[in-house]
Amino acid sequence: MEWQLWTIGEELRKVEGIQPVLASWMAKDHRDQIRLRTFLDGLMPRLEPLPDGRDLCLFMCIDVRDSKRLTHHYDLENYLTPLFGGGRLDARRFVYVGARKCVGGGSYVVLGRAQPLVLDPFEWAHFACSVSGNAQSKEWKSQLRGALLHQHPRSLPPGTVKVHLAWRCSDRYRRNWVWLWKPTGDAMGPVLGEPYPTNPFYPNDDRITFLGLHWNREEVRPGSMEVGMWWRQDQAEPTEQLGLPEGN
């Protein structure tokens, strides 16, 4: 499969001095939900209205302030998903969304134009397959995990990890490809490690310190989807000050 990966090219807006908030599944009046809504209500006016075009990208840098938080909790996907929920940012306008955990330097969000990214095949492990069915179902995740386990039976050694994920699918998910992020990550246990043997869809994804999410708009046959994954150890120092990441 040929894949188009992306990174930030032209920077259009940069919002600094933020304190990112994780997604919450609590009741609306719970303090976690209130904190999240307050954060989003303050951030969205600084990003919207979106510039013209369907080649947008967004990158969030999260300063977790403590190196222990690089590998425990603070899942990057849970910072990104709320930006596109509740009628906020329109996912159809974006081909790349990414995030990075670091220690020091402060947190920020960048909105920009996407430009192509090429990963070094000698530095990145790669996997791709076709799956079918509803991506929100356990069966879909089982297909993906089984194919990954068959091709890459060894998990990465302990430590921080960089990951890129990409999708190509039929029109069903083109309206909101955000809903593919979590189930795909849930299936990465054979690579990231599975700390709970009875729950293979709860992988050790806390240790992902860089996450790139890529949308390939080419159509595939109805009912099917192509999924691509790339991963490698993250060699960056925890206190490294990071500008706009190339991901490689």
Tens digit of each residue's pLDDT (9 = 90 or more) over 43-71: 999 999 999 999 999 999 999 999 999 99
Identify the burial level of 10 via C-beta atoms within 10 angstroms of its C-beta, where 0-12 means exposed, 13-18 middle and 19 or more buried: exposed
Phi, psi of 227 (to 5 degrees): -125, 135
| Residue at which a domain ends, from 92, 117, 142 | 117
- The domain containing residue 103 runs over which residues? 5-117
For 148-152, what is the mean pLDDT?
91
- State yes or no: pLDDT of 239 exceeds 50: no
- State yes or no: pLDDT of 217 exceeds 60: yes
**From residue 76, how far is each of 49, 73, 149, 240 by CA, in Å?**
24, 9, 23, 18
Do 10 and 74 share a domain, yes or no?
A: yes
In a domain, 243, yes or no: no
In a domain, 238, yes or no: no
Positive or negative CA dihedral for 139, 143, 92, 222? negative
Only one residue has tokens 């060894």, namely 154
**What is the pLDDT confidence band of residue 247, given thresholds at 50, 70 and 90?**
low
For 211-218, what is the mean pLDDT?
94
CA angle 108, 23, 105 (to 5 degrees): 20
Between 246 and 154, residue with greater pLDDT: 154
Instruction: Tell me the β-bridge partners of 225.
Output: 131, 169
CATH number for 211: 3.30.1330
| Residue at which a domain ends, from 117, 137, 171 | 117
Between 84 and 86, residue with greater pLDDT: 84
Instruction: Tell me the β-bridge partners of 72.
Output: none
- State yes or no: pLDDT of 243 exceeds 50: no
Do 112 and 130 share a domain, yes or no?
A: no
In a domain, 239, yes or no: no
- Would you call 121 helix, strand, or coil by DSSP? coil
In a domain, 242, yes or no: no
For 2-25, what is the mean pLDDT?
95
The answer to whether 94 and 176 have CB atoms below 8 angstroms apart is no
In a domain, 219, yes or no: yes
Structural domain count, the chain: 2
pLDDT for 242? 39
In a domain, 246, yes or no: no
In a domain, 17, yes or no: yes
For 135-157, what is the mean pLDDT?
92
Q: What is the DSSP letter of 159?
A: S
Do 66 and 170 share a domain, yes or no?
A: no
- State yes or no: pLDDT of 103 exceeds 60: yes
For 146-165, what is the mean pLDDT?
92
The answer to whether 129 and 3 have CB atoms below 8 angstroms apart is no
- State yes or no: pLDDT of 29 exceeds 60: yes
Predicted TM-score of the model (pTM):
0.93
